[in-house]
Amino acid sequence: MKRVTWPKHSVLVIAIVATWITTYIGYITSFNMKIDNMMQEIILFMNPLSFLLFVYGLSLFMKSAKRRNIYIISISLLTSIIMFSNAVFYRFFNDFITLPLLFQTSNFGDLSSSIGENLHLTDIFFFADVIIIALAIKFIPTSKTTLSQRNIGRKLYFVVAATVLMINLGLAEAQRPQLLTRSFDRELLVKNIGAYNYHIHDLFIQSKTHAQRALADGSELAEVANYINANYAEPNSKMFGIAEGRNVIFVSLESLQNFVINNEMNGHEITPFLNELTNDPDTFYFNNFYHQTGLGKTSDSEFIVENSLYGRNGGAVFFTNSGNTFNSMSERLGENGYFTSVMHANNKSFWNRDIMYQALGIEKFYDVDSYTIGEGEAVNWGMKDIPFFEQSVEIMKTMPQPFSTRMITLTNHHPFDLDEEDMMIPPYDSNSKTLNKYFQSARYMDESIKIFFEELKKNGLYDNSIIVMYGDHYGISENHNKAMGKYLDKEITPFDSTVLQKVPMFIHIPGYGKGETVEELSGQLDVRPTILHLLGIDTKEDMQMGADIFSPDHDPFVVFRDGRFVTEDYIYTNEVCYDITTGEQTDGAACEPYIERATTELGYSDLIINGDLLRFTDKEE
């Protein structure tokens, strides 16, 4: 009797489907991924396929059936191990595996002791596909012809695979623009491109970082150190140590640009509380201060303020270099007896913070799990700033003093949505919904800071602290130039766009009495030395590219990550040199020397980060 044979590629098809379904069931049973809409559900369901079609498809290049089967079984085993390890890891860390984390062995202290408790019998399910495939190989009789003449079928197969991948990436990009270039969150990556593609992405980023690091041997340090020493600005003797021993509270003001300060929108004051602070004798208000962030947005601002170095040109340094050695402000404060932390009511893995904070020597991260988000207390990206500040002050009361903490606000984030009851002023009336809502949302932020100050006072934390607040980056991009032009009543040129990168900075020192508006041109890189000096901590030996703004030697020169720069006389943008007072184009030669300096400075900063050069200066090593 003739034996019935199954189509030749039955095993391949079974393998793809089995691993696909096992992976998907693994997703929904093992990870706590928030799915907000049907489209996200569809993306999650289809994303394993975009990887599996390719990887299993490679078996089509193998001539013997035996080889194909071994390959297919190995792949199913590998994918199962990947999913299983992530699931176990997730039970400990509530996060997906990333390579630098595997190298930070300190994470695994607790893990080895309790690993047994975190293995579940049901974990066998992760290997269900391997079992199904093995059975298929054993029991399904397939024809044994070789595949050599099957080029057309194979081409078609890979066209389909590529199409599935393109659809997956397209849908992901629509859900989360710039997901891959900015790669902000592991959970988002897994949700959108799938666990397997995420690991390839992670491997790619990390191997690039490792290759660059391997090339450095520390000999580059001397040249960089020379540059840094030459730019060192001695602290101002009248200011050094004026806040010694106090707690220091940094507040990262989400998307707050300086143009809203002391300004009105259709007759409504936008930031009444901050405006008051600009005239407050205990406050220094910096009105000529720029953000210097790139693609890493908030995380870049954190990086800059911590290290007084530039972020990376492509991607977020929080992701690419979280395995580096740093000489952060937090570490320095820690050495000086401070308890250091960050408070931010978002997923801890967003911007890879959980990993990067360890590299930055931050002792504690109060992430979303440290907060209780009650009914009506979340909007837009998450917890509203007012309850965030209120609960944060409660947490602060439990911190050992002196402490240093960075509070990262969230409500004033694109798309600037608010609940009706939080709108204290009407929207603006331009063609940009974003800008229209921005004023209302900035107004809400102002209110939240006012409440924060009150809470600090009520809870006895005010007098012995200093509060440093700064805008993290722009909120209104150049896509809204037309609406901005209407608001500012002028056409927005590249010169204006550059000036619009000013963010407000405040240093509030309760009881100080000699505050003023500081007009010195400065930027986020200057925060670290400025604050450490106020706290009486010397930074002469530190590899930092900014300088103390209060120092008589402070050099007014601000470089942006993309190479634009601002001096006291010129703004250089789009390869055009503008006169800062007239905003008119001027002779390019005037900008020449600064162009060179900006390039050198960015280059040295990159050298430090790419080569992980601070590992060669680290005292412990």
Q: List residues near ligand GP9 by CB under 6 A.
A: 297-298, 346, 350, 408, 410, 413
Residue 493, interface with Mn ion (CB under 5 A)?
no
Cβ-proximal residue to Mn ion, closest one: 298
Cβ closest to Mn ion, residue 298 vs residue 493: 298
Cis status of the peptide bond prior to 100, with omega within 30 of 0: no
Q: Which is nearer to ligand GP9, 158 or 381 (CB)?
A: 381
Q: Distance between CA atoms of 436 and 429, rounded to whole angstroms? A: 6
Contacts (Cβ under 8 Å, ≥6 apart) of 452: 251, 389, 392, 393
Closest CB 50 distance from Mn ion, rounded Å = 30
Query: Of the listed pieces 86-94, 212-220, 290-298, 305-313, which binds Mn ion according to CB under 5 A?
Result: 290-298
3-state secondary structure 423-454: CCCCCCCCCCHHHHHHHHHHHHHHHHHHHHHH
SS3 of residue 393 by DSSP:
helix
Give residue number: closest CB to ligand GP9: 297
Partner from ligand GP9, Mn ion, none binding residue 452, C-beta < 5-8 Å depending on class: none
Options 19, 30, 298, 497; binder of Mn ion; rule CB under 5 A = 298
- State the binding partner of 340 from ligand GP9, Mn ion, none, CB within 5 to 8 A by kind: none
406 binds, among ligand GP9, Mn ion, none (CB under 5 to 8 A by kind): none
Radius of gyration from C-alpha coordinates of the chain: 27
Phi, psi of 478 (to 5 degrees): -65, -15
Residues numbered 225-284 forming contacts with Mn ion, rule: CB under 5 A: 254
Residue 408 binding result from Mn ion, ligand GP9, none, given CB thresholds of 5 to 8 Å by partner type = ligand GP9
Nearest distance, CB of residue 410 and ligand GP9, angstroms:
6
Q: Which is nearer to ligand GP9, 470 or 570 (CB)?
A: 470
Q: How far is it, in rounded angstroms, from Cα 13 to Cα 162?
A: 17
Residue 68: contacted member of Mn ion, ligand GP9, none (CB under 5 to 8 Å, by partner type) = none
129 touches which of ligand GP9, Mn ion, none (CB within 5 to 8 A by kind)? Answer: none
Taking CB under 5 A as the rule, does residue 472 contact Mn ion? yes
Give the residue with the Cβ less far from Mn ion, 391 or 409: 409
DSSP string, 80-139: HHHHHHHHHHHHHHSS---HHHHH-GGGGHHHHHHTGGG--GGGGGGGHHHHHHHHHHHH
What is the distance between the alpha carbons of residues 399 and 363, in angstroms, rounded to a whole number? 11
Q: Which residues pair with 469 in a beta bridge?
A: 251, 506
Q: Are 260 and 487 in contact (CB under 8 A)?
A: no
Least separation, in Å, of the C-beta of 347 and ligand GP9?
7
Q: How far is the CB of 344 from ligand GP9 (least distance, A)?
A: 6
| Least distance to ligand GP9, CB of residue 102, Å | 24
Provide the token pair at 248: 């220091």
Question: Please, what is the minimum distance in Å from the beta carbon of residue 297 to ligand GP9?
Answer: 3
Q: Which amino acid is at 347?
A: N
Quick one: 504 or 529, whose CB is closer to ligand GP9? 504
Nearer to ligand GP9, 298 or 539 (CB): 298
- Nearer to Mn ion by C-beta: 318 or 594? 318
Distances from the Cα of 253 to the Cαs of 66, 187, 425, 522, in angstroms?
61, 24, 19, 17
Count of residues interacting with Mn ion (CB under 5 A):
4
98, 209, 298, 320: the active-site residue: 298
User: Would you call 298 a catalytic residue per the annotation?
Assistant: yes
346 binds, among ligand GP9, Mn ion, none (CB under 5 to 8 A by kind): ligand GP9
Cβ-Cβ contacts under 8 Å for 325 (sequence gap 6 or more): 359, 612, 614, 615, 618, 621
- Specify whether the CB–CB gap between 488 and 268 falls below 8 A: no
- Kindly state the smallest distance separating residue 434's Cβ from ligand GP9, in Å: 14
- Chain residues that interact with Mn ion, rule: CB under 5 A: 254, 297-298, 472
Catalytic residue positions, numbered: 298
